[in-house]
Structure 1
Amino acid sequence: MVARILGFSGGRYFYKKFRSTVISDIWPEVLFFTLVAVAVVLVSELTSTSLAVSSQMLTVLGTVLGLVISFRTSTAYERFAEGRKLWTSLAIWSRNLAQIIWIHVPFERVLDADTKKTQPHLEVVIEKKSMINLVQAYSVSVKHLLRGEAGVYYEDLYPLISFLPRFCTDIHKATEEDMLPLWKSSDMDYRKFKDTHVTTSLPPQSRAQSMPLPKMRESDETTTSEKYDTVKSHVSVVRPKRVKSFDPEALLPEIPSEHPLRPPRNPPDDSILDWIPFLRELRAHKGKDPYVAQASLKHSRTTTGRKIRPKAADSNVPMEITLFLSSYFISLMRKGLLTPASATAMNNAIIALEDTVINLERIKDTPLPFAYQAHLRMSVWLYLLLLPFQVEGALTWVTIPATAFASFLLLGFLEIGQEIENPFDYELNDLDLDHFCLAIERELHEITAHTTPAPDSFIFNEWNQPFAPADRRNAKAMMDDVEHAYHGVDSGMYHIRKTLLKSWREVDSMTRHKRS
């Protein structure tokens, strides 16, 4: 899905910033209490009847209410911060697992000890890269899980897991009832949102035989040398053009799908009802693309505001991905391809991924008790309702702006706490889960970009000066100078130690701040 970069271009940026505030959520309540203050002031100032009452309770109730609202906001922010920490943990463990698969799992494998037959290098790389793609798909599936988006048919998820098996038996004998939960849930989820514009989908069991194979892009057929033949030597001074949009899903594999893929990010469109909080529940959020099924079940509502519940239990896509990662781990153990330390690290990484998702679901599915929220809001309403009566005698006409400001302040903090309590939705103040997933994608591709060469191939060359600053010769020159004292059988280590001590003294002296 092509995403637009806001930046500072046009008024859309400022509109988004304004929508990220809570003004659109609290203005009806602020207006109501302001009108109450207007009525109290008009009656007290323009008639002989005074509505002013004693303000002795104002200080006591205001202090208690302020402490309770502060606790409410702090509790909500703790959930927001914990969600961010857990996504950091998800990125760390995804990176660690990818490094273990790419580096610790050996590339050289002997298939037959007698004939010394080895497994083709390309086959090993394809295997490891496919499993790392599953690690990338894990974070994407967690994003959709937290947003309440069922199934796997998304532009950023399906291309990464489409190779996983669909059936628990032989594909030629399997029926639709044999479909694994990962795909069965997606299939049932799609049926609830059939579109008349979409052509009849192919049956899952005929997908492998009937669906066309993905085609290579024309740009992929061009060799690297042809791509960069026209690059000028002074390309470093050319400033890149500012892009206003980007489409990260274009970098994923192009895999045909029997169902139309939904966009990776499908927030509800802005509507006039967004400015009227008590009417928001009546709106029916629909996808932006008429050819794409609705992305989020939590935004599906009937005309009466009732939520549409799925008829079947949704499949836990992240858990099923970890099942395949665990199966791969067991296969490596059976083949003896992992050392005990690497096996322990890989198993811990998979377990840590599962623990992180469980904690994320805990934040999402454990809201603040309704009784606490309702009692706190009723207390604020009663306080603001009685506020004009208590301050009118001292402030007179200033009671109106004072009540408006107090309403804006207290109700704003209440709404902020409620908004960031679940930081995984599409609200502008929620965590940017799409950004986190793209960051993990970049890191995993950076890991697999390295060919894991042997240390000898890059250590002993002309670009390495390991003993600097005491000895600024490169490693190759030191190894070639066999007459140097470093190569002495008995005294070699002594001279190396002297050089390293000299380096320490120079570094210690030159890096300390000298005061006059």
Structure 2
Amino acid sequence: MSKLPNSIHEVPVINTQVYDSARTPSLNTPDTMAEEGGYHPSTGGNEPKQESQFTSKPRMTDFNTQEIRDTMSPTGPMTPNPFSRKNTSIDIDDYFTGPRDILKHSKWPLFMQMHGSILPKMIVPLIWMSMWSAAITCIDKYRTNMGVDSVLLTVLGFVVGLGLSFRSSTAYERYAEGRRYWAQLILASQSLGRVFWIHGGDPQGLDPRQSLLRKVGCMNLLLAFAVSIKHKLRFEPYTAYEDLEHLVAHLQTFAQEATAAEPEKLVLKKKNFFKETGEYLGVSFAASNPRKTIKKASRPLGNLPLEILNHISCIVDKMVEDGQLKVPMQQTLAYNNVALLNDIMTGTERVLTTPLPIAYTIAISQITWVYVMLLPFQLIDKLDWITIPATVAAAYIILGILFIGREIENPFGEDVNDLPLEAYCEQIASELDIIAAFEKSDPYRFMESPRNLPLYPASMAPYHVWMSRSEERVREAINSKHSTVFEFRKKVILDKVESQSGGKKPSSEGATTLSGDNNV
């Protein structure tokens, strides 16, 4: 990932023109269109350009947009994306680290895909099982009989099946619950963003620029809350992270003070080859303690999401006190969503810190390994040398289910199959920007546009044409819209059936206009 500038003043400011309405096709809407009816595409483009919030003036951006790709809006002005992972598709690390990029599409069949598969972490167990089954087979062939009655396959298989089913169901339940909490976080961010930007009024006597910047700052706190939760769930307690620092640098928090006092704690030691390889292969002896950074802290780290939530609560209180939220329902909406943010914070922590009891985890793991280790003894009498590949295949199936449950049990980590928290934070950032791009104005102004077709598809007549008609004519058209549209759709379906059966082709009239369009 390319490093972002430390300050927006380090990058020259450039102009970026947005697309105007001249790029979009327009309808030819003369005043006489109402009486003739029907759809007539524009050929001359004589209609005056309608000025809107998106076309009235050029926009400015404080970042160099020449080499930045924004997946959320590929045709609009590009903005840097601090939430995306490094593009390591040609690196072997990409097959072991995650979360998986949900925007990527693979054309390989599922059974041939490696990225996201549990196979890399099963290489060592499968090698061990192949050596174990080979040893048992050789001893049976050249020394003494090692076969036992295969009734153990039935007895132990039932117990192992119950254990793995319980392990998988509880792990996926935690995974799904984590996803639900992040969906609620996106919902609460959107709702509070609308409260701050649309419902919140401007205090009298306040500079409009100051009011706008205050609202933008409030919405940035919502994004900071989401990003701070992501880092907290991954045991990253400081603030000097690329996607977080610029959002909370102006806040006085325990994490900010600890970051300034202990910058050396943020320097990550490079892992040696054996430790890194061991982590990729799922070797438990090579796994690092995820809470190591927190345990080594010598200063209080606080709770950054909670402290940001305190700031959001104070802002809501101030808006109510200043009369910016005049409607009681708006105040209720704001406070309910603040409470929802608190519920999300505690709920995700509960999912993270309440795994399956260790007694269950150990017992299920031991039972599963005992079962696969006993497989060669039960297969040797019937399969001979085929016992070796048969044991490896059975171990892959049984241990694979066990390992999948272990990986998705914590859905907030950085394994390939964990939840893509970076993508969720990017979505929140993008949607808050969309809300902030909306300019408050008279909502009925948009309805008076000549592009507004109130009774489409029953009629192609625009808004101003219907305004020239009598009230009785408008009511009659509204009442007959349902039956008119029904007949039109029925005709289209019949023409389509006849066309597919080799009959006549659909008529152009039925495909572009309704039979009742000339009568309304």
Shared fold by TM > 0.5? yes
Matched residue, 1:362: 350
Q: Give 5+ residue unaligned stretches, structure 2.
A: 3-84, 98-112, 499-520
Correspondence for 1:139 among 226, 247, 253? 226
Higher RCO structure, 1 or 2 (CA under 8 Å, sep 6+):
1
Distance 1:506 1:448, change over 3 A: same
* Deviation of 1:4 (Å): 3.7
Q: 1 CA distance for matches of 2:363 and 2:96?
A: 33
Matched residue, 2:157: 62
Equivalence map 1:19-418=2 (5 Å): 20-47=116-143, 49-107=144-202, 109-110=203-204, 118-164=205-251, 166=252, 180-193=253-266, 271-274=276-279, 277-278=282-283, 280-281=285-286, 298=291, 308-338=295-325, 339-418=327-406
Q: 1 CA distance for matches of 2:460 and 2:115?
A: 59
Correspondence for 2:415 among 427, 450, 459? 427
Q: Deviations over 1:228-254 (max 9, x none)?
A: xxxxxxxxxxxxxxxxxxxxxxxxxxx
Distance 1:189 1:145, change over 3 A: farther
Distance 1:485 1:282, change over 3 A: closer
Asked if the contact 1:151/1:187 (under 8 Å) is kept, the reply is no
* Deviation of 1:364 (Å): 0.8
Q: Deviations over 1:260-309 (max 9, x none)?
A: xxxxxx9999833335544653769xxxxxxxxxxxx6365xxxxxx953
Distance 1:383 1:15, change over 3 A: closer
Q: Deviations over 1:79-134 (max 9, x none)?
A: 11221121111111111110111111124x32xxxxxxx32222211111110111
Q: Give 5+ residue unaligned stretches, structure 1.
A: 111-117, 167-179, 197-265, 285-296, 301-306, 487-493
Correspondence for 1:439 among 420, 423, 427? 427
Q: 1 CA distance for matches of 2:268 and 2:184?
A: 39
1:5 partnered with 2:87 = yes
2:324 corresponds to which letter in structure 1?
L
2:218 corresponds to which letter in structure 1?
M
Matched residue, 1:501: 479
2:250 corresponds to which letter in structure 1?
F
Asked if the contact 1:22/1:415 (under 8 Å) is kept, the reply is yes
* Deviation of 1:313 (Å): 4.0
2:309 corresponds to which letter in structure 1?
T
Q: TM-score, normalised by structure 1?
A: 0.70
Asked if the contact 2:372/2:395 (under 8 Å) is kept, the reply is yes
Matched residue, 2:42: none
Q: Deviations over 1:401-456 (max 9, x none)?
A: 11111222222211111111001111111111111101111111011111022124
* Deviation of 1:191 (Å): 5.0
* Deviation of 1:470 (Å): 5.1
Number of matched residues? 395
1:141 corresponds to which letter in structure 2?
S
* Deviation of 1:13 (Å): 6.3
Asked if the contact 2:96/2:280 (under 8 Å) is kept, the reply is no
* Deviation of 1:161 (Å): 2.4
Between the aligned residues of both structures, percent identity stands at: 29
Q: 1 CA distance for matches of 2:439 and 2:481?
A: 33
Asked if the contact 2:133/2:387 (under 8 Å) is kept, the reply is yes
CA RMSD, Structure 1 to Structure 2 (Å): 3.0
Matched residue, 2:104: none
Q: 1 CA distance for matches of 2:257 and 2:154?
A: 60
Asked if the contact 2:453/2:461 (under 8 Å) is kept, the reply is yes
Q: 1 CA distance for matches of 2:271 and 2:346?
A: 24
Q: Deviations over 1:458-503 (max 9, x none)?
A: 2223222223455543323444x3xx423xxxxxxx4432121122
Asked if the contact 2:255/2:300 (under 8 Å) is kept, the reply is no
Q: TM-score, normalised by structure 2?
A: 0.69
Q: 1 CA distance for matches of 2:122 and 2:209?
A: 60
Greater displacement, 494-503 / 121-130: 494-503
Distance 1:471 1:23, change over 3 A: closer
* Deviation of 1:55 (Å): 1.9
